Structure 1
């Protein structure tokens, strides 16, 4: 169960707003930690299934090797240009590899829904194309923080 956001309740997204936002956004920034404690941040495409964030990462990447050693991860999805338009979500927890690595398309019931969502969102396809270079990471967040500064323009409701 994800930790409840305590600060910024006025600008916090509702669960429905969060789900809609994550369904429409395509790119996230993923932070991992090296063995000596240095952070590494890289961009990835993702999909959200309402419970977990699914990341399709190259298995020969620094990100993958760092997560194999230390599964702690933080992910930010955000947008907006002007201050009053800023909105986003930070999710954190442990990344768990799912399915074969690299992914070649072997049957894996746990990946059926995320692959269908990802293929439709990013490729406009019904089925996931596999390239033998990527594999799946699942982040079921332990903490979620969200913000939508557009709500600051609205008067608070009682």
Structure 2
């Protein structure tokens, strides 16, 4: 058995992970890598961001991006799924509503209550823009547990 995950195993790992790592490009081509909350729908990644976020400006300028999830602390536990693809802004209100509902379902228990946030922070996150990351066909995956067996 190799180290690679099957596409179904990789998408299961993506669906069950909590936080992803999104890399977008600045105007001069430098990568900016940030942790993000996300949802999986139809083998794409849904994201949300405040409308004034620089992430949104970067995506509008250059949609090329990558997305990564990883887990494990010991080398023998390392597992990851890396996707390359493009990110576009969701303009269809029904699709944006579906992403928002999926975010609510996945992350409601992890959010800081709005009343506990400073007013400027609360206002910054009051409205969201929604993004869709569409991966290319090839994904890079590995699961080192397959080398050493279950722990």
Bin the TM-score by the shorter chain: 0.7 to 0.9
Which residue in 2 is equivalent to 1:127?
Answer: none
| Counterparts of 1:112 and 1:10, CA distance in 2 | 40
Contact 1:72–1:93 under 8 Å retained in 2: yes
Aligned CA-pair RMSD: 2.3
**Superposed CA offset, 1:4-56 (max 9, x none):** xxxxx811112232222112111111111111121111111001124101111
Kindly tell me the number of residue pairs found equivalent between the two proteins: 135
* Residue 122 in structure 1 maps to residue 107 in structure 2: yes
Normalised by the size of structure 1, how large is the TM-score?
0.75
2:12 equivalent to 1:17: no
How much has 1:131 moved relative to structure 2? 2.5
User: 1:94 maps to what in 2?
Assistant: 86
**SS of the counterpart of 1:99?**
coil
Q: Whole-Å Cα distance in 2 between the matches of residues 152 and 12 of structure 1? A: 11
Distance in 1, matches of 2:16 and 2:6, equals 15
Residue in 2 that maps onto 1:80? 72
Counterpart residue number, 2:139: 144
Structure 2 Cα separation of the partners of residues 89 and 31 of structure 1: 14
CA contact under 8 A between 1:30 and 1:44: conserved in structure 2? yes
Task: Give the SS at the match of 2:8.
Answer: helix
Counterpart contact for 2:39–2:46, Cα < 8 Å: yes
Larger % of helix: which? Answer: 2
Measured in 2, the distance between the counterparts of 1:20 and 1:51 equals 10
Q: How does 1:10-89 map to 2 (within 5 A)?
A: 10-89=2-81
* Equivalent position SS for 1:140: strand
Q: How high is the TM-score relative to the length of structure 2?
A: 0.79
